[in-house]
A and B are shown apart, each in its own frame.
Chain A
C-alpha cells in the first residue's frame, strides 16, 4: 500500500480513518496490525482484501494495482489470490464442513483432488467433514475457516481477530495451526487483532493509531 487514505461520513462529519498509509507485506511474512477499537484495523483489512476501495493512494497485490479495478475483477482477484479468516468464523450453516472448505475451489472452478481432505487432516478436522457448522465447537469452526482460507492456495491470507471468539487455550491451538499451515503454504498473512497472543505468531507487528502505522514494541507472549 502506498499513501493510502480512507475516510467515512459520520452524519455531517467526515472521519479520516487512514491517512497516507504505507505498508509492505512480502510473501511468507506474517504481519500483525494492532490498535484500539475504531482505529481502522478492519478498514485496512477490507482494503487489503479488495472489499473496499481507497479514497486515494495505491494498493498492489502480487504486483498488480487493484484500487481502480472494476467490481467483477476485484471479486475474481479475491476468489483467486486471497483467503479470509473471520472472528465469527462465517461458515455457512447450510453446507457441510467439507463443502465449506471446498467453497473457494468451487468458486475458482478447481476440481478437488483430495485437497480438502488433506488440509482437513492437517488442521485436525478430518473427522468432521460430514458434519455441519452448528454441530462444531468454536475451535473446530475456526480450524475449518482456516482450511477454507488456504484450500485454493492464495498468495495472501487475511485474518480479522481470528481468536476473538475463542478461549485462550483453544486460541493457542488454532494460532499454532494457522502458523504451521501458512508456513507450509508460503503465503503472506495479515492478522488484524488487539490480542497479544494472536500477534505473537507474526514476524512483524505494526500499531495503527490516528490513521498511520508505526512499529509496535514486541511483547512476550505466554
Chain B
C-alpha cells in the first residue's frame, strides 16, 4: 500500500523524478567514466602483446636501447627455439590523428595471421615495399577510400602508403598500422633494429638458457607490474578525482532524496496518525532510494561508458607521449567493473538516504506543518570535526603512502562538507544583519529557516567550487613550475636533430668543430631491461646551469665528468628511496659498489625518473655511439644566418638536419602539459554540473516547502517580478555563501595536491605558489551557476496565480 502511494507520487511528479535520476546518474557516470579510463590505461600497454602471442607471452628486450635484429636471427636459428615474433613499434600520424606503426614478421605471428587468424594477409603485406594493414573500422574512422593511398607523416616526413583494410583484427590491433618488419624499419628509419621480440607462454625456461648477452627476459607478470608502475601516478590522480566526484555525487543524492521527502511530510504525518510505524516510513524511503538508485545507476553506467570514450579521446595522445604506448581508442572494460560500480552507486544512495530515513521515522503523528528544523544537529557537527581530525592524521602519518593521502584528502573534503551547513548558518546570520529590511532581508530570512533543506546542496556546491578552484590552482602552479623548469633546462641556443640517419660520434665531433660554436651538448635516452630509464649526457659548462639541484655534491660537475658517478632525477630518487651518496647498480657497468649518486635534480619530464650517466661511460658500457640530439651553444648566443646551410655543407649526413629553438620546445612542452590536463578540466566541468543539479533540486525543494509563503506574498501584493527576483536572489546568495566557504577549502586542497599528492603519486615536488587568479576565475562561474539554478524555481513559483495554491490550503 505504502509502495503504491510512493509510485503514485513519483509518477505524478515527473520533473522531480527526472532530477533525482539525473543526480544519481551523473555521480555514477563520472565514477564509471574514470574507472573505465583507469582500466584502459593499464590494459592498453598490454594489448598488442596479447594480440600477437597471447596474454601470457613473454618479451625479450635489450639491456639498453633497441634489440639488434641479428640477435633475433641468432636466437631464431638456435635448435629448439620457440615461435619468436620480432616487433618494431613507432608513432605515425594519419589525417592529424596519432597511430602506432607495428612492424612484425607476419609469417611468424601465427596467433594473428595463422589458423583462425587473418589468413592470406602475410603474402599481401610482404608483396609491396610500402604496404600496411589496418582494421576496417580504423580505415572508416580515418575516412580512407578504396583505391586511394594512405598519407602518413612519419619521422617528420610525409609518406604515401598502400593499405589493406582487414576484418577481424583483434582489439589490441585497432588504431595501428601493421606492416612487415622490414617495411616498418624503412619507414621508421630504424634499419636492423627491433623494439623487442615476443615469445609464447611457456618458453621462459628455454629462453633463460639460450638468451644471448645483452638481452633480457620480461615475463607477462613483470610486464603487468611495469604497466602498473608506469601508469600508477596518473591512475591515482584519476582515482582522487573520481573520489571527489563521488563525494559531491553523494551530497547530490542526499539533497534529491531530502527533496522527495519534504514534499510528503504532511502525508507522512497523516500516515503516522493512522498508525503507520516509524520503521515502515524509514523502510519506504530506503526502498525508494534503492529503486531510484537502481535506475539512476543503470543510466549512469551507460552514460559513464560514453563519457569514458570522450575522456579517452582527451588523454590518448598525452598518454602516448608519457608512456611511449598509444592507448587503443576502443575501451573493452572488464565485466566485473559494472556490477562493482553499480553496487557502489546503490551503497552511496543508501548512505545518502540514511539521514532522510531517520527524519522520516521522526515525523510526529498528525503534525501537518513542518516544524522549524534545527539549524544542524550537534552530532553531525561533531562527526564533521572528527572526520577532519582523522583526515589530518592520515595525511600526517606514513608520509610516503599515496592511498592514505588520497583517503585523507577524501575525508578532509567530506568532513568539511558536513560542517558547511553550520558555517553557512553563521554567514546567513551575518547577512541577515547586514541586509536591512528590504526584499534581501526577507530572502535571507527564508533561507535561514530552510537551512536544513538546503544544507546538502550547499555542501555539494561548496565541494564542487572548492574542488574546481583547488585543482585549477594546482594546475596553474604546476604549469608555472614546468615553465620555470623547462626554461632553465634549455640552456643551449638551439637543438639539432636529423630526419634521416643517426647522430653518431663522428657527426657530433664534426658539428662541435664548427667555428660558430662555443660548445655542443648531447643526450641519449634508453630504457634498460628492468624498465629503468638511462640518459647519457655530454654537457659543456654552460649546460650545467640548467640543473635545478635538490641535493648535490660540491664538486658535482667534476665528479660526473670523471665518470663512475651518476645523477638522478627527483622522481627516480623518491621511487627507489635513494639519497645523495647512495649507489645505483647498472648491469652493463659492473662495479661491486654500484655508481655513486652525486646529484639529485628537479625534473618533470617523466614520473618514472631517470639516471643520468656521463656520455663516455655510457658509450663504453653499451656500445651505442648514437645521440638523440645535440645542443648547440653559439659564440654570440644567437643562431648565425644561414647556419643550417653551412652545417649541411660541412658535416656529412647533416642534409636533413633541423634546428629547434628553446622557445619552440618550451611552447611544445607547455602544449603537452595543457593537453595532459584536459581530462582534469573536463572532470571539473562535470563536477560543476553535478553541483548545479544539486542546487536546482534543493531550491525546488525549498520552493515547494515554501509554496504557501510565496502564495501568501503574492496574495498580499508581491509582484511576479519581485518574487522571481527574491528566488533568484536567494540562489545567488547561496552561491555566494558557497564561494566564501569554498575559498579556504580550495586553498587547503591546492596545498595538499601540490605539497602531498603530487610528490607521492608522481615523485616530483613543486615549489608552492598561490595563483589566486585561478581561484578568482571560479567565482563568476559559481555565481552564474547559482543564478541559473534559481531561474527554474523562480519561473515555476512566479508563473502561478496565488489563488489555486491558497485554495489547496483552505
Contacts and interface: CB of A to CB of B under 8 A. Distances in A.
Contact of B709 (A80, A86, A93, A102): A93
Interface string A45-75: 0100101100000000000000000011001
B778 interface: no
A104 to B, nearest CB: 6
Interface in A74-126: 75-76, 78-80, 82, 84, 86-88, 90-95, 99, 102-104, 106-108
B714 interface: yes
Interface in B695-720: 706, 708-709, 711-720
A92 B717 contact: no
Given A51-B801, A51-B802, A88-B810, A94 B717 contact: no
A46 B441 CA distance: 29
A95 B442 contact: yes
B717 A80 contact: yes
Contacts of A102: 437
A107 B716 contact: yes
B80 interface: no
Most buried by A among B372, B437, B806: B806
B201 interface: no
A26 to B, nearest CB: 23
Contact of B715 (A42, A84, A88): A84
A49 B717 contact: no
A106 B437 CA distance: 8
Contacts of A134: 369, 371-372
Contacts of A160: 810
Given A86-B806, A94-B445, A72 B716 contact: no
A78 B803 CA distance: 13
A52 B801 contact: yes
B374 interface: no
Interface residues of B, number: 33
Given A51-B802, A134-B372, A75 B717 contact: yes
B168 to A, nearest CB: 62
B438 A94 contact: no
Interface stretch (B31-39, B215-223, B446-454): B446-454
Give the residue among B709, B713, B716 with the most A Cβ atoms within 10 A. Answer: B716
B440 to A, nearest CB: 11
Given A51-B801, A52-B803, A107-B716, A94 B449 contact: yes
B720 A71 contact: yes
Given A95-B445, A106-B438, A72 B719 contact: yes
Contacts of A42: 807, 810
Interface in B767-810: 801-803, 806-807, 809-810
A84 B721 CA distance: 21
B708 A90 contact: yes
Interface core residue of A72, A75, A80, A104 (most chain B CB under 10 Å) = A75
A51 B717 contact: no
Report which residue of A84, A91, A108 has the largest number of chain B beta carbons within 10 angstroms of its beta carbon.
Answer: A84
A75 B718 contact: yes
Nearest to B802: A51
A108 B717 contact: yes
A49 B715 contact: yes
Interface in A140-170: 148, 160-161
Contacts of A95: 442, 445
B402 to A, nearest CB: 47
Nearest to B448: A94
A91 B721 CA distance: 22
A79 B716 contact: yes
Indicate the member of B371, B450, B718 with the most A CB atoms within 10 Å. Answer: B718
B709 A76 contact: no
A107 B445 contact: no
22 contacts: A42-B807, A46-B807, A51-B803, A51-B806, A52-B803, A71-B720, A72-B719, A75-B717, A78-B715, A78-B716, A79-B718, A84-B716, A86-B809, A90-B712, A91-B712, A93-B449, A95-B445, A99-B445, A103-B713, A103-B716, A106-B442, A107-B718
Given A94-B450, A104-B716, 19 more contacts: A42-B810, A49-B715, A51-B715, A51-B802, A75-B717, A75-B718, A76-B717, A78-B715, A80-B717, A86-B712, A88-B708, A92-B709, A92-B712, A94-B446, A99-B437, A99-B442, A104-B717, A134-B372, A161-B810
